[in-house]
Chains A and B, each alone.
Chain A
Amino acid sequence: MSAYTHQDPRLHGIKTKIRVVPNFPKSGIMFQDITTLLLDPKAFKDTIDLFVERYKGKNISVVAGIEARGFIFGPPIALAIGAKFVPLRKPKKLPGKVISQEYILEYGRDCLEMHVGAVETGDRAIVVDDLIATGGTLCAAMDLLERVGAEVVECACVIELPELKGRERLNGKPLYVLVEYFEI
């Protein structure tokens, strides 16, 4: 589901604040830059409010955020809905005991890690990132949470690139986004 299709009046302000940077990090990629959104306090607040309104009162006990831009959106949501914030990180960043989940990239693999003990069986979780492209990272995140017995209620992103079919890769898990970006 995309909030944009229901035309909440705040969405236009959010969408126009996202800057598209061509050919980053490599040729042919239109990079969705959310840092310009963060420079507009009202638009940033509206972004968080839209997620908080959706998840407050739904017994969400965990907000998992994917390094690094998920760390920007996840904690304000967690604080507002009274949930724990759990960072999901690249390898070797988290100290102490972790569990890892590998995932496939266009070329090669990467790995996402979570602390042992951060999430418990029965926790109801949302996964937050700034953007969903192919869905590979979000899938790895969901796998980590489900492996420790949490229920992933929904994935939440500011932006979706529908042409990359990330939504399908989530295997039926609900996805909620604020804006969609189409290259065509």
Chain B
Amino acid sequence: MQSSSSRLLLCSSKPNSLFGSAVTPTLPSSLRFPPLSLTIPNSTSSSIRLRSLRSSASDSSQVTEMASQDQDPRIARISSAIRVIPDFPKPGIMFQDITTLLLDTKAFKDTIDLFVERYRDQNISVVAGVEARGFIFGPPIALAIGAKFVPMRKPKKLPGEVISEEYSLEYGTDKIEMHVGAVQPGERALVIDDLIATGGTLCAAIKLLERVEVTVVECACVIELPELKGRERLGDRSLFVLVEAEGA
């Protein structure tokens, strides 16, 4: 069983400087969640990742050691509320199950609050949530910041006129759809999902929005699996996560 640790990292969103960095600069607490500028130049945008590595144990309780670095005190409880299920949906995959987080009323509320605090003054008019677990986190954020909620769905679920974006899976392709007219050119949007793995779904969601001239300000997920390099697949797009986890 691997030991795990949690660290606070302040990184730019450029992939090379993120990956494999071992040193954590200390930060004054006011900078732990740096404000997003209203127009975010891609080359200087930054994101804070609050790191909590999971052990490879089964659904027994997780062991996370807190680093000496400052970390928002709510993160530890959020991290330990997430359950890891080995070999789901197939052997070798350590599935990050957020349903146990939803059973912890304080931790679920804290999760939403952390996103709301980051985005409430950023003039976000659209929160797009990816089916189905993005539907759980997106609407509470949208409601709290006064934005529309736009569901991004698997094919044939949305009635009426849609636009589609195809994306690759490990084997084959899938498609994600959005309603025509849900968003307007010039709107500022967040894309929400429970987890980013390879980044394929999030990329497709971003493309759908950008095709209709919406500015994707940031992607926000509860969990990142850094080994799967989803952050790199997002290129210059900004990504904000609360917790990092081992993929396998």
Contacts and interface: CB of A to CB of B under 8 A. Distances in A.
Interface stretch (B35-43, B68-76, B131-139, B198-206): B131-139
Interface in A148-166: none
B151 A35 contact: yes
Interface residues of B, number: 39
Nearest to B111: A79
B41 to A, nearest CB: 29
A94 interface: yes
B179 interface: yes
Contact of B103 (A40, A86, A92): A86
A57 interface: no
Interface stretch (A68-76, A100-108, A169-177): A68-76
A41 interface: yes
A72 B135 contact: yes
Interface string B144-158: 001111110100111
B102 to A, nearest CB: 4
A25 interface: yes
Q: Interface residues of B: mostly helix, strand, loop or mixed?
A: mixed
B102 A87 contact: yes
Contacts of A92: 89
B247 interface: no
B59 A35 contact: no
A41 B142 contact: yes
A38 B150 contact: yes
A25 B103 contact: no
A176 B156 CA distance: 29
Given A33-B160, A72-B151, A83-B105, A38 B99 contact: no
B139 A72 contact: yes
B182 interface: yes
Contacts of B136: 71, 75, 85, 87
A76 B145 CA distance: 13
B142 A96 contact: no
14 contacts: A25-B156, A38-B148, A38-B149, A38-B150, A41-B142, A68-B135, A71-B135, A73-B139, A79-B108, A79-B109, A79-B112, A85-B108, A95-B85, A115-B99
Interface of B: 59, 83, 85, 88-89, 95, 97, 99, 102-105, 108-109, 112, 131-133, 135-137, 139-140, 142-143, 146-151, 153, 156-160, 179, 182
Interface of A: 19, 21, 24-25, 31, 33, 35, 38-41, 44-45, 48, 67-69, 71-73, 75-76, 78-79, 82-87, 89, 92-96, 115, 118
Given A41-B143, A44-B139, A68-B135, 20 more contacts: A25-B159, A41-B142, A44-B143, A68-B131, A68-B157, A69-B135, A71-B132, A72-B135, A75-B108, A75-B139, A76-B143, A78-B102, A78-B108, A79-B140, A83-B105, A86-B99, A94-B99, A95-B88, A96-B83, A96-B97
